[in-house]
Chains A and B, each alone.
Chain A
């Protein structure tokens, strides 16, 4: 299986924990958004936080389901819970 390296943008608590606003993940060809999230379990700084935090994946600036296939050149971002606020 040949892999692809994807660059992933980080924000908020994920950015702080990683100490960087971007990481690279090595994924298999045909990987999905869920595969990108699963790959965080092997990341030394992010594994613990990613294991307990709800994270939405954004691809090319749109929120996607976990089944969304990733393509070379996609702009990937991990979106932790947004600030929201009470009504």
Chain B
């Protein structure tokens, strides 16, 4: 089971954890990536492609690590400090598979999904904006 979503709404780790619940899953690992230090992060996505890309990454993780299920959601728009911008949940028979699968999923989502962010701090009218640049994704 795969679930990939890009949304403007706040993310629910509880809902994602329930989505990967399986009778044969003895281990569930969740990850939450959260805005830190700055007032907020402004996220922009090539949403249709990002959803497809995240789904492809999750399918690959299920296959490579023998997961029962994998799900991930990325928020776009303004994400205030201490709120989640990206969440991942995976389930597997045992914890070794679940940890490895979750780790690969979040690392690849951050490196490959067409999503961009700007750090924003300061009062309205006097905001400081800094665009965060990583690397370009590899060709498939």
Contact = CB atoms under 8 A, between A and B. Distances in A.
Interface of A: 9, 11-13, 15, 54-56, 58, 61-65, 77, 79-85, 87
A15 B44 CA distance: 11
Chain B interface residue count: which class?
A: 20 to 34
Nearest to A60: B49
Contacts of A54: 135-136
Nearest to B133: A81
A63 B138 contact: yes
11 contacts: A11-B116, A13-B133, A61-B46, A64-B139, A79-B136, A81-B134, A82-B110, A82-B114, A83-B115, A84-B132, A87-B107
B113 A61 contact: no
> Which secondary structure dominates chain B's binding surface?
mixed
B52 A80 contact: no
A79 B136 CA distance: 7
A80 B116 CA distance: 9
Contacts of B136: 54-56, 79-82
A56 B137 contact: yes
B49 A58 contact: yes
B112 A82 contact: yes
A61 B116 contact: no
Given A13-B116, A56-B136, A84-B134, 7 more contacts: A13-B131, A55-B136, A58-B46, A58-B49, A64-B139, A82-B110, A82-B137
Contacts of B48: 61
A76 to B, nearest CB: 12
B113 A77 contact: no
A58 B45 CA distance: 14
B91 to A, nearest CB: 23
Given A56-B137, A63-B138, A87-B107, A12 B112 contact: no
